[in-house]
Amino acid sequence: MRHFITIEDVSDDDLVTIYSLATAPIDDELLRGQGVALVFELASLRTRASSATAVHDLGGTSTFFTDHEVGIDQRESAEDVGRTLCALYALCGMRVRNHGIFTRIRAASDDQMALINLLSNLAHPTQAVADVLTLAEHFADGDVKGLRGRTLAYVGDATNVTRSLAVALLRLGVNVNVGAPEGYQLQPGGVEDPYAIAGGGTLRLFDNAADAVRGVDTVYTDTWVSMGAEASAEKRRQDLAHFQVNAELLTLAQAHAVVLHCLPAHRGEEITDDVLDSARSLVWRQVFHRRSAMVGVLRWIKEEE
């Protein structure tokens, strides 16, 4: 049974297969007659919409479950949620507060239900697939292997998005710079660990935005206040104030450099309007490729059957 829980769990060959399946024409109905459960403990627009459209594109039907309805470890245990869902579904996407839920659901469902991580506190792998597709489309005519040697700078709070993105890019030979203040920098260890990627691209860490961005092809940022971190929002805004992606910062990148953001954006905080709305911004292609990414992941999971 294939699962898509982190980028690091998936082999290089399987990732290349996912990238390829993501952009292949949709002329199949792989999910015809099949239901897909989509469980969201946290808010979502893009992930929810792209999951639903991808399932629909492949001929299946999706059903959404909110935190209020399911209440993992509140209304009932994660294990009983897993046992229930696997009795009714062979495929389940989940957005969870704690990454460890995947291990528990997987064990409780006796590996009978394929799991797709739609964001956890530690990883956002479907976003990373969409980001790779976006960069490959822009820089390499869609050939993900053509990204080798490029450099991306991630600026701001090193989040779940940063971890999956860095693992995906380093494995493709893309260099990753991370500019973040103390306390917000990418930490080694745990799941989806970019420090553990041997070979491929080079990971470089900086304590300021300017050095991270100098000479790069791509600048990426994410919110300063991830879901679950709302209590420290004010402190985060102060600590990260010098890590805004704005027009002045971008003068340090290559003239051809593009800008990515997973969204939702907090305009005037981690990114300015003039950058987000500029011709350099590929954020709407990223959104487009969220659906491509889900199509690729769903096809890859079904391919094994």
Region near ligand NVA per CB under 6 A, out of 109-117, 157-165, 175-183, 268-276: 157-165
Partner from ligand CP, ligand NVA, none binding residue 45, C-beta < 5-8 Å depending on class: ligand CP
Contact residue for ligand CP among 45, 107, 196, 241 (CB under 6 A) = 45
Asked if residue 207 lies in contact with residue 183, where contact means CB atoms within 8 angstroms, the answer is: no
Footprint (CB under 6 A) of ligand CP, residues 114-143: 119, 127
Which helix (H) or strand (E) segment holds residue 106: the answer is helix 101-108
Asked, as a colleague might, if the bond just before 264 is cis with ω within 30 of 0, I would say yes
Region near ligand CP per CB under 6 A, out of 43-51, 98-106, 247-255, 293-301: 43-51
Q: Which is nearer to ligand NVA, 127 or 272 (CB)?
A: 127
Q: Which is nearer to ligand CP, 2 or 46 (CB)?
A: 46
The distance of closest approach from Cβ of residue 262 to ligand CP in the complex, given in angstroms and rounded to an integer, is 4
Give the end-to-end CA distance of the chain in Å, rounded to a whole number: 8
The length of the chain, given as a count of residues: 305
Asked if residue 271 lies in contact with residue 261, where contact means CB atoms within 8 angstroms, the answer is: yes
Q: Which is nearer to ligand NVA, 22 or 119 (CB)?
A: 119
CA distance 230 to 10: 32
Partner from ligand CP, ligand NVA, none binding residue 159, C-beta < 5-8 Å depending on class: ligand NVA
Footprint (CB under 6 A) of ligand CP, residues 154-183: none
Characterize 139-171 residue by residue with b for buried, 16 or more Cβ atoms within 10 angstroms of its Cβ, and e for exposed: beeeebeebeebbbbbbbbbbbbbbbbbbbbbb
Structure tokens at 114: 């394929």
Q: Which is nearer to ligand NVA, 30 or 123 (CB)?
A: 123
108 binds ligand NVA (CB under 6 A): no
The type of residue at 212 is A
Structure tokens at 49: 């919409």
The distance of closest approach from Cβ of residue 122 to ligand NVA in the complex, given in angstroms and rounded to an integer, is 10
CA distance 10 to 304: 14
185 binds ligand NVA (CB under 6 A): no
Which residue ranges make up the site for ligand CP (CB under 6 A)?
Answer: 44-48, 119, 127, 262-264
